[in-house]
């Protein structure tokens, strides 16, 4: 085995040394260095371009399905600072760490400590799975040790970031879901309601106070028809409270109806001066199912419905 001893290597047309080996074994070279095989470095590998552009290390091959990447001390197209992993073939920065330590995936200008901005193409942009069956912990978001109240610890919003869909507040742990489908509306005071000969569907401005209607998650309650239409499939909670004045008939009952079929009913067969009938019911609805309120009376053709009445509902899961 022979040993090659080098101190300085200089091209015959160059006035400076192109490669230098110091006494401690360190090797430095100017210009580009190409390694066709394996390069083993026991110490530190330094790429210093001085003022001649940002240093980079290219990883290239010509095998089938080759992807060529570049490690860059800088952010191509943005700044000389930071660090990037660049896809040479696509001409895109795949991962960026800027000078403030913020990490960007799919973006060259991360605005947060971790910014992910990718076109998922009809799929999720992130996936987390704990494959330990016995203890499959997921994601843990921790509040600050003395977290101030009312800041979004976890939040899902619209594209502009201005409308929260789901939010968990710091300090208190309050959870708000501003886009959950729901409604609440009051009834008008109505005299002379005749529901003795046929069912009366409580609908329209005669019965409902339109100005009292409050909704979240879209316009799902129609005052004209008196119907709440489920925008998505799930369990819904409904609450109905109707006060009647001066009843002298045989019976009176209110029915909460799901797609024309009774889902809950409250009935009284006693004459009264004032009485409130209530229904509270959780119901599983498919998307586009509707819920409305019916009134039936026997023996009294002039019922008084008091304004101290309401109907409400909301998605619970």
Q: Which tens digits make up the pLDDT trace of 110-162?
A: 999 999 998 878 888 899 999 999 999 999 999 999 889 999 999 999 999 99
Could you tell me the pTM of the whole model? 0.72
Residue (of 240, 266, 238, 245) closest to 254 by Cα position = 266
Check residue 7 and give its pLDDT: 55
Instruction: State yes or no: pLDDT of 285 exceeds 90.
Output: yes
Q: Which tens digits make up the pLDDT trace of 206-254?
A: 999 999 999 999 999 999 999 999 999 999 999 999 999 999 999 999 9
DSSP-derived 3-state class of residue 89? coil
Check residue 138 and give its pLDDT: 94
Q: Would you kindly state where each structural domain of the chain is located, as residue ranges?
A: 53-114, 151-178, 182-315
Q: Is 272 in contact with 247 (CB distance < 8 Å)?
A: yes
Q: Name the β-bridge partners of 278.
A: 241
Nearby residues of 139 by Cβ (< 8 Å), 6 or more positions away: 128
Taking phi over 0 as left and psi of -120 to 50 as alpha, with beta for the rest, 6 belongs to beta
Check residue 61 and give its pLDDT: 84
CA dist 89 and 21 (Å) reads 35
Q: Which tens digits make up the pLDDT trace of 59-106?
A: 988 888 888 999 999 999 998 899 999 999 999 999 999 999 999 999
DSSP-derived 3-state class of residue 230? coil
- Domain 182-315 is of which CATH architecture? Sandwich (2.60)
Percent of the chain residues topping a pLDDT of 90: 72
């Amino acid at each position: 085995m022979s040993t090659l001893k080098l101190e300085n290597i200089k091209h015959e047309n160059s006035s400076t040394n192109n490669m230098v080996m110091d006494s401690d074994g360190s090797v430095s070279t100017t210009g580009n260095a190409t390694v066709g095989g394996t390069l083993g470095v026991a110490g530190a590998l330094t790429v210093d371009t001085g003022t001649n552009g940002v240093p980079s290390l290219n990883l290239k091959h010509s095998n089938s399905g080759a992807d060529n990447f570049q490690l860059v001390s800088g952010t191509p197209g943005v700044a000389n600072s930071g660090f990037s992993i660049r896809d040479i073939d696509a001409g895109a920065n795949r991962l960026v760490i800027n000078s403030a330590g913020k990490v960007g995936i799919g973006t060259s200008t991360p605005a947060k400590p971790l910014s992910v901005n990718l076109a998922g193409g009809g799929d999720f942009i992130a996936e987390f799975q704990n494959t330990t069956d016995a203890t499959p912990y997921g994601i843990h978001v921790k509040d600050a040790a003395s977290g101030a109240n009312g800041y979004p610890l976890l939040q899902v919003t619209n594209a502009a970031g201005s409308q929260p869909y789901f939010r968990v507040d710091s300090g208190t742990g309050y959870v708000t879901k501003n886009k959950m489908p729901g409604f609440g509306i009051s009834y008008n005071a109505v005299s002379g309601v005749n529901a003795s000969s046929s069912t009366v569907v409580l609908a329209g401005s005669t019965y409902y106070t339109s100005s009292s209607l409050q909704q979240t998650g879209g316009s799902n309650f129609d005052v004209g028809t008196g119907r709440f239409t489920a925008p998505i499939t799930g369990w819904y909670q409904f609450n109905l409270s109707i006060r009647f004045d001066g009843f002298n008939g045989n019976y009176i009952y209110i029915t909460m109806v799901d797609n024309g079929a009774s889902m809950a009913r409250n009935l009284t067969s006693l004459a009264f001066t004032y009485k409130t009938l209530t229904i509270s019911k959780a119901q599983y609805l498919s998307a586009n199912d509707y819920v409305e309120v019916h009134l039936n009376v026997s023996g009294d053709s002039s019922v008084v419905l008091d304004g101290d009445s309401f109907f409400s509902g909301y998605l619970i899961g």
